[in-house]
Amino acid sequence: MIPVFDGHNDFLQRLVEPDADPLNIWLNGDGSGHIDLPRLREGGMFGGFFALWAPSPADPDGPDWHARQETPPYAVPLDPIIDTNTATAHMLRLAARLVALEREGNLSICRSVDEILDAKQAGRIAAILHMEGAEGISDPDMLHLWYRMGLRSLGPVWSRENHYGYGVPFEFPADPDTGPGLTQRGKELVAECDRLRILVDLAHLNAKGIEDVARISDAPLVSTHSGSHVQSASTRNLTDAQLEMIAGTKGLVGLNFAAGFTREDGKRLPFDGFDPYLRHLDHLLEKLGENGVALGSDFDGALLAAELSDASKLPALIGAMQDHGYGQELVEKIAWRNWMDILRRTWER
Ligand code: ZN
């Protein structure tokens, strides 16, 4: 079985739902979602980025944004700024759950590529602590505290406004150039991440925000979970000009499996087979080269292909890549080796 390392999951969010039994969900599954230890092992997924993310307060009068995304065109307005203290408390709960999984013994929070490879060797799941939207960081000192707690990857914004910048709203079809990018504080945050060698994730940034990161950071540009805008005209995807900018830094894109961001028609509905993913991979390979493409599933955070009902089905996707004509070496690069390479070039530069 070809191992898989993955650029994004929202598994931790499931562990803080009311009445959740975190260790039981992790060790045995609860029949929902995409990820738990048995299904990771069955699918060959030995690790990935585990996201800390804070929800916006529910808007009881707002439209059902999932339903709206089933019938493009749609434009979901950007969520407003959320309270930093509330977000920080939530993210600390999520991080504490990840530490609980580590204490249980079958997962390691990894701070270097060597630690990831050690965990892989030992049969433990290798987790990168990632923050999706910097709402859990009130000031630069807090960034340093999170770093000490193991944070090695940070997206300055989710698709929302925060004190660091403006995320990209969910729209289809639409260009990702949707408004202002990073604020002054956001630019300083990126610079401090660069000094600490924390990976700065481009996913959920708008076009101006991506340009800001490219100007400030001297690391390779990385989007952990996005796709090709040519293949699916979602604001969450990267235009050819953006892909060329990423390629210019020998950067990387992890393909997001979300149906609504991979289908040509943009509908947030499951599909049969894996053709949309293969079209995105072909295009990303054309623009980024064989070292610049990886996977960024969005497990537990998105609606996926019907045949990718959870992480245990990853071998079917790997098989589809092989049937599509990708050789063994390329498949292994996409499945995990490119993540190891870019993490070394980011963390150890
Ligand atoms: Zn995301």
d(CA 240, CA 288): 10
Q: 104 C-alpha to center of ligand 1: Å?
A: 27
For residue 35, the domain's CATH number is 3.20.20.140
Residue range 265-294: mean pLDDT, rounded = 98
**How confident is residue 314, by pLDDT bands cut at 50, 70 and 90?**
very high
What 3-state DSSP class applies to 254?
strand
Task: Please answer whether residues 172 and 259 qualify as being in contact, where contact means their C-beta atoms are separated by less than 8 angstroms.
Answer: no
Task: Please answer whether residues 173 and 266 qualify as being in contact, where contact means their C-beta atoms are separated by less than 8 angstroms.
Answer: yes
CA torsion 230-314-288-266 (nearest 10°) is 10
Residue range 189-216: mean pLDDT, rounded = 98
d(CA 314, CA 324): 15
Residue 50 has pLDDT above 80, yes or no: yes
State the pLDDT at residue 60. Answer: 54
State the pLDDT at residue 66. Answer: 83
Q: 163 C-alpha to center of ligand 1: Å?
A: 18
Residue range 152-164: mean pLDDT, rounded = 97
Give the number of domains in the chain: 1
State the pLDDT at residue 64. Answer: 79
Task: Please answer whether residues 318 and 2 qualify as being in contact, where contact means their C-beta atoms are separated by less than 8 angstroms.
Answer: yes
Name the token pair of 171: 């729209």
Name the token pair of 244: 């060329």
**How confident is residue 158, by pLDDT bands cut at 50, 70 and 90?**
very high
pTM score above 0.85: yes
**How confident is residue 63, by pLDDT bands cut at 50, 70 and 90?**
low
**How confident is residue 204, by pLDDT bands cut at 50, 70 and 90?**
very high
Q: Of all residues in the chain, what percent carry a pLDDT higher than 70?
A: 99
Give the up-direction half-sphere exposure of residue 200: CA atoms within 13 A in the CB hemisphere.
32
Average pLDDT, the chain: 97
**Model pLDDT for residues 24-34, shown as the tens digit of each residue:** 999 999 999 99
Q: 276 C-alpha to center of ligand 1: Å?
A: 19
In terms of Cα–Cα distance, which of 157, 259, 276, 251 is closest to 208?
A: 157
Q: 76 C-alpha to center of ligand 1: Å?
A: 15
Q: 216 C-alpha to center of ligand 1: Å?
A: 22
State the pLDDT at residue 59. Answer: 65
State the pLDDT at residue 68. Answer: 87
State the pLDDT at residue 319. Answer: 98
Q: 157 C-alpha to center of ligand 1: Å?
A: 10
The lowest-confidence range among 75-89, 99-113, 130-144, 178-192 is 75-89
Residue range 6-22: mean pLDDT, rounded = 97
The sign one gets for the Cα dihedral 328, 334, 336, 337 is: positive
Residue range 223-250: mean pLDDT, rounded = 98
**How confident is residue 67, by pLDDT bands cut at 50, 70 and 90?**
confident
Please state whether beta strands 165-166 and 171-172 pair in parallel, antiparallel, or not at all (unpaired). Answer: unpaired
Which residue range forms the structural domain that includes residue 248?
Answer: 4-57+66-347
Name the token pair of 41: 């092992």
Residue range 281-302: mean pLDDT, rounded = 98
In terms of Cα–Cα distance, which of 255, 262, 265, 256 is closest to 276?
A: 262
Provide the CA 66 distance to its chain's centre, in angstroms: 19
**Model pLDDT for residues 142-156, shown as the tens digit of each residue:** 999 999 999 999 999
Task: Provide the 10 A C-beta neighbour count for residue 104.
Answer: 13
Q: 79 C-alpha to center of ligand 1: Å?
A: 14
In terms of Cα–Cα distance, which of 245, 168, 249 is closest to 211?
A: 245
Helix, strand and coil content of the chain, in percent to the nearest 5, comes to 40, 15, 40
State the pLDDT at residue 267. Answer: 98
- Beta bridge pairs of residue 233: none
